[in-house]
Structure 1
Amino acid sequence: MTCRSRATLTTLELGAYHSCALFEDDALRCWGANDYGQLGYGDTYDRGGTESIASLATIDAPAFTDIQPAFYHTCGLTEGGEVHCWGQGELGQLGYASVANMLLPGEAVSLGGAVARLIGGGEHACVILEDDGSLRCWGSNHYGQLGYGDTENIGDGELPDTAGPVPLLPESLSHVDIVDLVTGGPHNCALLSNGEVMCWGRNDYGQLGLGQFGNIGDDELPDSVPTVGIPARRRRSAWAFTTPAPCSPAARSPAGAAATTASSATATPTTSATTSCPRTWASSISTRRC
């Protein structure tokens, strides 16, 4: 891929209807749909249809280390662990205790501490805090995807830190950490330090991989359900796969490769033969480098 911008492209992230890129000089540029100001230029004009990405102006925003465009809003993470959001706000997804749209990046969202990991959802967002590794989520909660045991949106009339940590881990897993999180729109899955996965949110197609249908998190807490082996990334399906490290010829053969799959017609994931080889977690490629 050839970069034609004024600096080298370091991060490229895609939302539903808009995209954003970070560059080595800390510049941020976004393009695509802009109905709610999700591009961050202070207006609602779409970009990218009549101009090149290289010609776009730099967005007036803090220096971000990560950018997460979602459905109609965008959030960015700074090196200091602050999260700033803009775009559509009617579901509280910006986290400013308001339902107003914002055409420019807002102030730091109140999350209860510095953020180590930012994950943008379809109409919600989640973070893993740096100090204690706890999980916080805010925005749309129609399917219980925020994980608080109800369907009340968070961020529309209150700040996200007032909700406290998502009660994700049962007592039996109190010794493990949340190391990563992926979201598939209205459902999420968390990868734990022991290699297990917990999923919650929308589940009308079995996308949580629990062997049952029915949303999780809307009238029960995520810590009340068992762990599974599937993370979420796309809107209506969730999946993971493991690849054996180079060890034995058998492990590299189709019969020895471990893989996990799921479909909308099956509530329980099916797993092929496993090996004793080390496993590699794979979810999606979020950055591209020139």
Structure 2
Amino acid sequence: MKPSTPTRLFLLWMLTAPGCGLLLGLDDFEDAGKSTDTVSDTDGRCHIDEDCPSGLHGQAVCDDGTCEYTCAPGFADCSDSPGCETAITEDPEHCGSCRSPCAAHCVDGVCNAPVDIATSASSASACALMEAGDVWCWGLLPNAEGGSRTVPLPERIELPLPALQVAVGGTVFTGPHGLRAHFCALLADGTVRCWGTNQLGQLGLGDTGPHEGAQIPNVNGIREIAAGTDNTCAINAQNQLYCWGPRSTGLIEGDTTPAAPTLIAESVDQVSVASFHACAVMVDRTLKCWGLDFYGSLGLGAGGPTHATTPTSVGHGSNFAEVSCGLTHTCARSSSGVSCWGNNANGQLGLGSRTNYNSPQSLNLFASQTLRAGASHTAAVIAGDVYLWGSNAFKQMGSNDAFDTLLPVRLSLPSVSRLALGERFSCALTAEGRVLCWGANDHAQLGDGTLVSRATAAPVRWR
């Protein structure tokens, strides 16, 4: 018996229409509810239910000449082809529904994208905090023996609870202790868990032995953490500042033994930690710095101490909102704009010169949203735009030339909400939740799966 005319037409369409493999259920698909498509027949309308191909992931009926599709859970009609051809449970382009892009992981139809990023001024590592509270890191990561390994794509860190914040420390500088990296996460219960290199006592346990995912003792009710090269600091709900790690950096007083968490100051709102100095915005919006005053990085002026053992007031008024410590320079933002001080050999102070300053100097930048200092470059976000200044020796300014930039220049990027500046690279988190990185990539710090440095900002690869 010959097939009926509608059936022959349908079979012909199935053989010639684009995407027929999807309609036959030969690919991975996903969901989206009910959709409407019209099947082309001699009169351009369906006549019976069989005129409406639904594939393996939906049902279709012919309703007054129009095909009505009901997709199975996890599938949707996201293309011009009729039928439920798109699987929306794992597709980052259609996460949970058609045309709902997800910048990172689509899991069971729910997008898990980055909400924050972190690195430090001497580091060749970076981490992202995801919406679900999981932490992913890449670049120079620790190995089981207490050393380091290169990880070119983001790797999920096993934590006992969702994280609220992540901090990245470590250094690529050569020396007696070689390459090293340590990390800390602030967990949902207000405790802090650290892992990685511990040759100098970076994990805050008072020793230098290897540990895996150690919980920092006597640190509870924490609301903010920050890491530098070898030291880490935390602020609790009572605005008390605790720091731990080696004492040789000048940040923690005492003998030569590594410091467990030590109370540094009261009434602290925000803190930033570098290699040999740290600064904090106080609850009253004033600014204090301490540690070793290399190149005037403490901002205490010509008559200031070369080593401030406790947080010491920095001049230049109050109303500070944020401070960020580079390797040997510091920048802060306040109601009156951005100011920087310290080492300026590469123009990292953004003043149009290479002159070092030991007290805060104002830049012509106002209304910045956030501010970050790297080893020898600095960046700020203003109304979603990124402005950078300083060294471009490793393309961290987003340009292929090797010339320093002495004044802030705007980098063409999508709207940005967060910044992370490492030792020789830069990263930005866009408003859509995409992490973009550029600059040096010798330790896979760009997270793109390669070791190729680049000036062009490109997305971190999540798979």
Would you say same fold, with TM above 0.5?
yes
Residues 60-110 of structure 1: CA deviation (Å, up to 9, x unaligned): x2410111111101111111111111111131111111361111221x201
Q: Which residue of 1 aligns with 2:380?
A: 190
CA apart distance, 1:271: 7.0
Quote the offset at 1:149 in angstroms. 1.4
What residue is the counterpart of 1:166 in the other structure? 363
SS at match of 1:213: coil
Q: The residue matched to 1:104 in structure 2 has which SS?
A: strand
Task: Point out which structure has higher relative CO (alpha carbons under 8 A, 6+ apart).
Answer: 1
Structure holding more strand per residue: 2
Q: Does the residue aligned with 2:370 lie in a helix, a strand or coil?
A: strand
Q: Report the alpha carbon displacement of residue 237 of structure 1 after superposing the two structures with TM.
A: 0.5
Per-residue CA deviations over 1:145-168 (Å, capped at 9, x if unaligned) read 01111222211xxx32xx3x2134
After superposition, residues 1-290 of structure 1 pair within 5 angstroms as 1=187, 3=191, 4-5=217-218, 7-39=220-252, 41=253, 43=254, 45-48=256-259, 53=260, 56-59=261-264, 61-97=265-301, 98=304, 100-106=306-312, 108-130=313-335, 132=336, 134-155=337-358, 159-160=359-360, 163=361, 165-168=362-365, 177-193=367-383, 195-217=384-406, 221-222=407-408, 225-229=409-413, 231-242=419-430, 244=432, 260-264=436-440, 265-270=453-458
Unaligned stretches of 5+ residues in structure 1: 169-175, 246-257, 273-290
Distance 1:201 1:271 in 2: 23
Paired residues of 2:398 and 2:411 also in contact (CA < 8 A): no
Q: What secondary structure, in the 3-state scheme, does the structure 1 residue paired with 2:455 have?
A: coil
Distance in 2, Cα, partners of 1:137 & 1:167: 11
Structure 1 residue runs of 4+, over 6 Å off? none
Q: Tell me which amino acid in the other structure corresponds to 1:209.
A: G
Rounded Cα–Cα distance in structure 2 between residues aligned with 1:85 and 1:147: 20
Q: Unmatched 5+ residue regions in structure 2? A: 1-186, 192-216, 441-452
Q: Which has the larger radius of gyration?
A: 2
Whole-angstrom CA distance in 2 between matches of 1:240 and 1:209: 12
What is the CA RMSD across the aligned residues, in angstroms? Answer: 2.5
Equivalent position amino acid for 1:119 in 2: S
Secondary structure, aligned partner of 2:412: coil
- The 1:74–1:45 alpha-carbon spacing in structure 2 relative to 1, beyond 3 Å, is farther
TM-score relative to the length of structure 1 = 0.70
Q: CA deviation at 1:33?
A: 2.2
Count of aligned pairs between the two proteins:
229
| Deviation per residue, 1:165-184 (Å, 9 max, x gap) | 2134xxxxxxx731111222
Alpha-carbon distance change, 178 to 211 in structure 1, aligned in 2, over 3 angstroms: farther
1:128 shift after superposition: 0.8
